[in-house]
Every structure is written in C-alpha cells, then in structure tokens.
Amino acid sequence: MENTNERAVAGNNQPPTPMETVAAEYASTMEELSNWGDGKKVEDRASMDAVDAILKELKTYGTALGKAGQEYTAPHHVVWKDAVAEVKGYTDDLAMMKQTCLDLVKSFKEKLAAEMAEKQKQANIVAAKARQDAQDAQKALDDAEGDIEAKREAKAALDEAKAATKAVASVKKEAVKGLRTVHHYKIDDHKAALNDIVKNDRDAVTAFIEWYADQNHRKRPIGGVVTWETKEAF
C-alpha cells in the first residue's frame, strides 16, 4: 500500500508531530499487542496479566496522546478562533443593519397589517353575502323557465354576485411583506398539560421516561425502573 504520510517519505526534513513522537515511545507496546491479534481468547491467569499490562500501557499512551494532541492543535485552534472572530465582526454588523431596517418599518407594518385584517374581516362578510346572492340568483335563473326578462335579471344578478366573490378573493391575497405570524405559549396548569400529553402523545412521554431513567437511575430509586450491576473489563 502506498504510504500517504508525507513525513514518512525518504528525505523529508519535517520534524515529527507530537503524536508521532508519543507513538514512537509506545511502539514496543503496540508491537506486543500485535502478538495477541490472532483472535484467540485468554484462558489462563498469566495471559490475562500480560494483556492487562498491555492495556495499562495503552491507557498511559492515551493520556500522553491527549496531551500531545492538545500541544499540536492549540496553535491551530488560536488561528481558528481569530478567524471566527474576524468573520463574526462582519456578521454581527450585518445583523445590526438588518435589525435597523426592521425597526424602521416595524410600527408602520403592524399598523398596515391591522388595517388589512379589518379589511379582510369586512371582505369575509361581503363574501358570505356574495355567495348567498349567487345561490339565490342561480335558483332564480333555474326557476325562470319561460320568462326571458326574469332570466336576464337573474343572469345579471348571478354575474354581479360572481364578480363580488372574485373581488373578495383578491383582497384575501393581499399581505404585508416582512411580517410573520409568531406563536407564543405559556403553561397555566402543568398537571393539565401532563394529562393531555399522556392521553394524546404517549411516545413523547415514553421518550421522556427513558431519558429520565437513564439520567437518574443511579441517583435514587425510581418506581417502575429495575436496576442491576454487571462487571465489565475496562
């Protein structure tokens, strides 16, 4: 397999990274572990002690590797934080400019929205009357079988009712841009809310119980939750 580590290429003068230095110090431990890599399980105390000794060394290696990683990444992290701070200076300024625009139009848009809501309310009243007029005109048209004048009057009334309905529909399409509906809530009765959730969203209750038991089963006994202990290698 081709070696992609540039530091391992012959003639490379780059100094080893802190991780490479630490890994070299524990090379013998990793080599010893490879002797146990045939998948055969330990069946005697001497072998168990040998593997435990390797594990102990690997834990020490992990501690040293963590420190080496911090040493290696710290300068990069400082550069990253500086870059993030620089970008944030622009995005914060952008946010303030956008908020300024919103503040300038907020009160007028709210006033306009209120006016349009009232207009919509009146339009709904007109729409209801227009629909009823259309039904009445259609019935009159159907009933005026042999009376041409009655048919003409009914047809004109029907056309007028349809035009009124169309005009109302155009009012409904009007909206103030830049305003959105924001839903708020507060809990007045926690018990009532809990009973409602238990009744209508059992999955959410189950998920909460699972989370709560996971977080608190070692702190106190919980009704309906059984706890036990096992021994595991570490």
222 — phi, psi (to 5°)? Answer: -125, 125
For the chain, give the longest Cα–Cα distance.
114
Whole-number pLDDT of residue 171: 62
Q: Give yes or no for residue 39 having a pLDDT over 80.
A: no
Please state, as a whole number, how many other Cβ atoms lie within 10 Å of the Cβ of residue 193: 11
pTM of the model: 0.51
Whole-number pLDDT of residue 174: 64
Q: Give yes or no for residue 58 having a pLDDT over 60.
A: yes
For residues 155-164, average pLDDT = 74
Whole-number pLDDT of residue 168: 67
The better pLDDT of the pair 121, 192 is held by: 192
Whole-number pLDDT of residue 128: 80
pLDDT band at 9 (very low <50, low <70, confident <90, very high): very low
d(CA 19, CA 24): 9
Q: Give yes or no for residue 140 having a pLDDT over 80.
A: no
For residues 86-111, average pLDDT = 92
Whole-number pLDDT of residue 85: 96
**Is the CB of residue 157 less than 8 Å from the CB of residue 137?**
yes
Residue with tokens 């709560």: 212
Whole-number pLDDT of residue 146: 65
The better pLDDT of the pair 72, 142 is held by: 72
Average pLDDT taken over every residue of the chain: 84
Q: Give yes or no for residue 220 having a pLDDT over 70.
A: yes
Q: Give yes or no for residue 98 having a pLDDT over 60.
A: yes
Q: Give yes or no for residue 8 having a pLDDT over 50.
A: no
Which range has highest mean pLDDT (4-8, 54-58, 163-167)?
54-58
For residues 107-115, average pLDDT = 87
